Chains A and B, each alone.
Chain A
Amino acid sequence: MIAMIDTGISNLSSVKHAIERIGIPVHTSANKAEVVKADALVLPGVGAFGEGIGALRKKGLIEPIRDRVLKDRVPILGICLGMQLLATTSEEHGRHDGLGLIAGHVTRLAPTEPGFCVPNIGWCDVDPGRDSVLFPKDAERRAFYHVHSYYLDCADAKDVAATIEYSGKNVPVAVERENVFGTQFHPEKSQDAGLDLLQRFFMHLQDQGRVRIEAA
């Protein structure tokens, strides 16, 4: 079973529809017992970091998620705020601790070149980094839909799966470290490029015997 973690602060139906489109049943839950049983976790979310991590804490989900991911090697995919929540810390409206699954700090976009806005809203070409599940080395450069004011500045460059060029800097927009995955952009809003990425991710989980893709 795939559990999509409901922090209660954002809409999850688009992510659910997109994953179901590629033939994966998803169970939305904020229930600790269900999260602990899940074969894979999806952590979507929009909104502020403090509220997101606060919601996980309130539901008693932080330790169960960490245990499942770090000890039982259960795969987790964070999307948008969900990717940022994987980080060690964030500076959004004060300093917050994250899930600590990807070493790094969530920091505000600070463009120095004219024309770059915060939030960064729109379609950005995503450059694959090293060969990864989310971005295999033969993946073509495609545009994904981004809406964010902050980004995860990874401590270990090897965790960066893809970047965008933003105001002369390479900003990480996808992370991958063993069974921990994240995208800053919204695959569920990136039409075919996004559905293809989700498909790759779940094919990988299927190859590991964690999920079974049903006919869409």
Chain B
Amino acid sequence: MLKARIIPCLDVKDGRVVKGVNFVDLKDAGDPVEQATIYDREEADELCFLDITASHENRETIYDVVAGTAERCFMPLTVGGGVRTTDDIRRLLLAGADKVSINTAAIERPEFVSEAAMRFGTQCIVVALDAKRVSSGRYEIFTHGGRKETGIDAIEWAKRMAASGAGEILLTSMDRDGTRKGFEIALTRQVADAVPIPIIASGGVGNLDHFVEGVREGHAWGLLAASIFHFGEHAIHEAKAHLAAAGIPVRQTHSQI
């Protein structure tokens, strides 16, 4: 039986955790390895690091964060942000990441996804897709934190990426990210129904009902959220208990932190 996965995401810049509201207005919330350890203890189903380090020289910091986390946490770890070459992927996997997520590099050079999947296996290649609703009502892919439009149809892109060897799609609604209004359900469902690979819904979780909607209406079994967990509003086990109460299978936790 499928189980919904609760995936806390930590935005990391220069080796420190930050959380953006609509990708601006960043607020420091601590040491990533410490945070990861807390989520491991709380029995999060997976953990995601998104590296938003801008300067090239500080990009080395993420490898230390990943290695430090992998040493202490025995949970699946996905790392994204700035992944552009197979060498970036190799280094992240060697540092201890289980999956890497590719975003802009896939748009600039779609063959990169199939090359990466061939070399490392589809199971560790996640394609991150940032989508926004455009005037015609359809969803298009945006890059650069939602500032740059590409004109690419999100659903078509998801299908193409799945066919290219993506093992999973991390789907973020740029309209919802940071708003706490819940997942963009129509987008999530259209993408989830269009591809044979798992979808992680992201962007907009503000309360526990939003997780239920993500599965039941969005058809996504991976549920990513950040601020709802980071600031101690809700613990992982509360999110799982809420899903379970709604009849959605989850992995039971033993922790009550």
Contacts and interface: CB of A to CB of B under 8 A. Distances in A.
A143 B124 contact: no
Contact of A143 (B3, B76, B196): B3
Interface string A101-119: 0000000000000011111
Contacts of B222: 121-122
Interface stretch (B25-33, B115-123, B183-191, B205-213): B115-123
A193 to B, nearest CB: 9
A167 to B, nearest CB: 10
A47 B168 CA distance: 15
A88 B94 CA distance: 29
Interface in B94-127: 94-99, 118, 120-124
Given A13-B94, A18-B74, A119 B40 contact: no
A96 interface: no
A125 B251 CA distance: 8
A145 B2 contact: no
Contact of B70 (A13, A125, A143): A13
Interface stretch (A32-40, A184-192, A206-214): A184-192
Contacts of B219: 115
A46 B90 CA distance: 13
Assign chain A's interface to a size class. 35 or more
Given A46-B123, A165-B1, A122 B197 contact: no
Given A14-B98, A125-B1, A189 B74 contact: yes
Contacts of B221: 122
Interface string B243-257: 000000001101000
B74 A191 contact: yes
B124 A123 contact: no
A149 B125 CA distance: 13
Contacts of A125: 1, 3
A183 to B, nearest CB: 14
B197 A117 contact: yes
A147 B123 contact: yes
A75 interface: no
A123 B3 CA distance: 6
A11 B93 contact: yes
A143 B240 CA distance: 14
A147 B197 CA distance: 12
A13 B244 CA distance: 34
Given A17-B71, A189-B98, A122 B123 contact: no
A154 interface: no
Contacts of B97: 11
Contacts of A121: 123, 167-168, 198, 222
Nearest to B252: A143
A119 B122 contact: yes
Interface in B70-89: 70-72, 74-76
B63 to A, nearest CB: 12
B43 interface: yes
A27 interface: no
26 contacts: A11-B93, A11-B94, A11-B97, A13-B70, A14-B70, A14-B96, A17-B71, A48-B118, A117-B197, A117-B198, A119-B123, A121-B167, A121-B198, A122-B221, A123-B45, A125-B3, A143-B252, A145-B75, A147-B99, A147-B123, A149-B167, A186-B76, A191-B40, A191-B43, A191-B74, A194-B74
Sorted nearest first, the 4 A-B pairs with minimum C-beta distance are: A47-B121, A123-B251, A143-B251, A147-B123
Interface of B: 1-3, 5, 40, 43, 45, 67, 70-72, 74-76, 93-99, 118, 120-124, 167-168, 196-198, 219, 221-222, 251-252, 254
